[in-house]
Amino acid sequence: MQQKQHIFIFLFFIFSLLASAQYDTGNKMYSDKITDDSGTPLRGITVRVKGKGISTVTDINGEFTINAQIGDIIVLSKNGRIIDSYRYDGSLYYEVEDKSDVIQSDKKRKTGFKKRSKSKSSAKNIFKIQLDSALYYATRNPTKSIDYIGTALKFAGNNKKQLSQSYTVLGDVYSNLKQYDLAVSNYTIALENGNTTETQLKLANALLSNKALQQSEQQFKTILKRRISTVEKAQAHEGLGDVYFKQGILGKALNEFKTALNLQKRIANSSKLSDLNAKIAGVLEAKGNTNEAEGYLLKAQDTINSQNPQKAVIESNRAADFYSRNNFVAKEIKQRQETLKKLEEADVEEVVVDDNVALTKPKAKFDLGNAYLKQQNFKKAIPLLEESAAEAESTDDIETQKEAVQKLSEAYVSLGDDDKALLNYKKYVALVDALYKQKEKEIKEVVSLNKSLSEKQNRITSLEKDRELSESKLKLFKTENQLTIENDRRQKTIIYALLAGLVLLVLSLFWMLRSNQQKKLANNLLALKSLRTQMNPHFIFNALNSVNSFIAQNDERTANRYLTDFSTLMRSVLENSEEDFIPLEKEIELLELYLKLEHSRFKDKFDYELTIDKSIDLGQFQIPPMLLQPYVENAVWHGLRYKKEKGFLKVQLLKKDEETIAIEITDNGIGRKKSAALKTEYQKKKKSKGMQNIKQRIAILNTMYKDKIDVHIEDMYENATGTKVTLTLKKD
């Protein structure tokens, strides 16, 4: 009677555990943020879970957290009047309308996250419009362009392609403004969302302009490892040439520029050909090869297409500057004349040359006049310098006007005309003051622009952080959901296994009470069942320790795979747990699965082999279930696991005669003697339950079935290493 009470108490405990586990997995904390359609947080909105009496209120940031689960209806209200409701389905974005006329009475106002599936096409169109506008204003009005990009990012949401496009354009804007550090950070974000060669080239060039030469070099080299077009390959080699030139590695720079030049010749891009010829000339000039450098400068001019007069001006001016640096005055004068002529033929106010420096007609005339001064040709120099000063004054080009009057003053000093020299010097002093004020104004404008850009960039950075936070919430939700499902499955497996074991125990006790007539046989059966009941938890405990080890190592995939194999093994063990004997082939299948599980845990400790004599008919032999597993477990855990080098475990079935087979389990582990010496004091006090149960089972079964099984254990080698277990099994 007392035993029955214990059983019912245990059953009640198990069912209570199952019920509480199922109840706990249903509750979730749902966190979100409510804003209007402009992104402004809405404070004081009451959030209620319909039918559950659970509610909360949004804080100053529009955020709330409430106990809800997927499928619940979330109701929004303010001042007691319902705004709208939606079904919580795990999404990040919800779109509802204010139907209460409380928040805004003159028009409906949207709250919450917008669910893109409702207006996907319109959002895509709006994004395209905003990005096109940003591209249009990229050079015309950078601050306006950044505003458009900010709006585009809001409509891009988590669309990786659109995010990459937006941040690439933003990087272009900052590159145009020479804010190369900001350009680098935005190109980097663009690449994180979409790794395109075009954006990577832009990042490499921005790093180059920001003087991060090693990082720029690495980017260009990475690009060259990809499958890219000839144009992109030429750009990468040109970029490497620029890096090496700035580093002073002239030999490598020359090789890279020549490689880029050969690639551009395939495309016949005259503009790039002239640029590369000019860059090669620059390297040669730095190496002191001025004659060869001059040849490449002439090639740069020859490659210019007649339909590109502005490029012709640039290359002509480069050649003139080259002659000026190297004191080829006659050639410089001739080239300056050619530059002025081409500038007049191009019929433009100015042409942007190297480093965004503008070449105007007043500047070209000044350069030519200055060249004549080098020859002391005042007759030609003075008129040109006067024209330059006058035209520069009319176009408000204070810098050129200042330089022109300064040279005029010097020229008149050389001619001995002190009055004109003094007059031009006074003009020069006045222009210096005017230029100083102009620069001061420009600095203030730059500071103001930088402040505005910083504020806009901070807003965009905030958008990026909000987007990352939303993605993190989604990933966290999915992870929690998966863990919940996995925990439910594990809990149910353990509980059902315990229930099954409990049912078996109840049946065993009931059968024992009803079997008074065959008391001796019943006692033997009960002993066998009791031993198996002890063996199963022993095996389960060791297997779960292996699973715990994988989880501790964060090896979730291996743990899941191990649990799958383990559950298959457990099902088979439970199916056979009521049997005194099962077919030998079933026992071998269980042993193979167990060996696979142990080998997955200790791959670096041992290999194994299972062989069966082909002449053995496994179907004719019966064996107690899980009889072989403890011997294999002992071989692994007490023999092979402590071996320094990799060990080997072999299981083989040999035919002795028509009625008998031998099952040999051998290992080359440390041996029983050394294994016993390694035991801790605690382990020495504690007897081995597994081997003791096996001995008792065999003794009882031999009593019941006339010496059907025999087991012999011995050392394999003379030095007491290795262990051999020989189990002899007879037919029924």
Mean pLDDT of 48-58: 86
Domains of the chain: 34-118 (2.60.40), 515-730 (3.30.565.10)
Note the pLDDT tens digit of each residue in 167-200: 899 889 888 888 888 889 899 998 888 888 999 9
Is the pLDDT reported for residue 689 higher than 80? no
CA distance between the termini of the chain? 39
- What pLDDT score does 266 carry? 87
Pair of tokens at residue 595: 């060996």
- pLDDT class of 137 with cuts at 50, 70, 90: confident
- Cα–chain center distance at 301: 48
Instruction: List, in order, residues 6 or more apart from 549 with CB less than 8 Å away.
Output: 601
Mean pLDDT of the chain: 80
Number of helices (H), then strands (E), in the chain: 24, 17
pLDDT in tens, 516-526: 555 555 455 55
Per cent of the chain over pLDDT 70 is: 81
For residue 608, what are the β-bridge partners? 649
- Judge whether 714 and 667 are in contact, CB under 8 Å: no
Long-range interactions of 629-633: CB distance < 8 A, separation 24+: 629/539, 629/590, 629/591, 629/594, 630/535, 630/690, 630/691, 630/693, 630/694, 631/665, 631/694, 631/725, 631/727, 632/591, 632/594, 632/595, 632/598, 632/665, 633/539, 633/542, 633/594, 633/598, 633/690
Cα separation, 187 vs 476, whole angstroms: 28
Q: Three-class SS of residue 128?
A: helix
Structure tokens at 172: 């272009």
pLDDT of residue 11: 41
CA distance 317 to 297: 10
Residue range 31-46: mean pLDDT, rounded: 81
pLDDT at 120 over 50: no
Per-residue pLDDT, 145: 85
Residue-level pLDDT at 443 = 77
Residue 300's pLDDT is 83
Q: What would the pLDDT profile of 190-238 be if each residue is shown by its tens digit?
A: 888 888 899 999 999 999 989 999 999 999 999 999 898 999 999 999 9
Give the pLDDT band of residue 342 (cuts 50, 70, 90).
Answer: confident
Give me the amino acid identity at 702.
Answer: N
* Cβ atoms within 10 Å of 187's Cβ, excluding its own: 28
- Per-residue model confidence (pLDDT) at position 558: 77
CA dist., res. 665 & res. 711, Å (int): 11
The mean pLDDT value for 456-475 works out to: 66
Distances, alpha carbon 300 to alpha carbons 317, 347, 643, in Å: 11, 22, 74
Please report the pLDDT score of residue 355 as a whole number.
Answer: 63
Average pLDDT over residues 105-126: 47
| Highest mean pLDDT, choosing among 454-458, 597-601, 610-614 | 610-614
Neighbours of 426 (CB within 10 A): 12
- Measured CA to CA, the distance from residue 516 to residue 702 in angstroms comes to 23
Sequential DSSP letters for 458-474: HHHHHHHHHHHHHHHHH
In order, the DSSP letters of 145-162 are HHHHHHHHHHHHTT-HHH
Looking at per-residue pLDDT, the higher value among 27 and 75 belongs to 75
Best CA proximity match to 299, nearest among 323, 324, 279, 326: 279
Tokens of 624: 């107690």
Tell me the C-alpha distance between 170 and 189, whole Å: 10
Asked which of 159-173, 275-289, 298-312, 322-336 is least confident by mean pLDDT, the reply is 298-312
Tokens found for residue 529: 């069942």
Q: What is the pLDDT of residues 625-678, one digit of tens each?
A: 888 888 888 888 888 888 888 899 999 999 888 889 999 999 988 888 888 787
Pull the structure tokens for residue 62. Answer: 């529009």
* Most confident of the following: 104-113, 357-366, 444-453, 535-544: 357-366
Higher pLDDT, 23 or 377: 377
| 17 band by pLDDT with thresholds 50, 70 and 90 | very low
Mean pLDDT of the region 121-137:
79
Q: Is the pLDDT higher at 500 or at 156?
A: 500
- Local structure of residue 412 (DSSP, 8 states): H
Say what the pLDDT of residue 9 is: 42
**pLDDT for residue 427 is more than 70:** yes
Alpha-carbon distance 312 to 306, whole Å? Answer: 8
Instruction: State the pLDDT at residue 651.
Output: 94
Q: Which residues contact 216 (CB under 8 A, 6 or more apart)?
A: 204, 205, 207, 208, 239, 243
According to the per-residue pLDDT averaged within each range, which of 338-347, 468-477, 570-579 is highest? 338-347
**Residue 76: helix, strand or coil by DSSP?**
strand
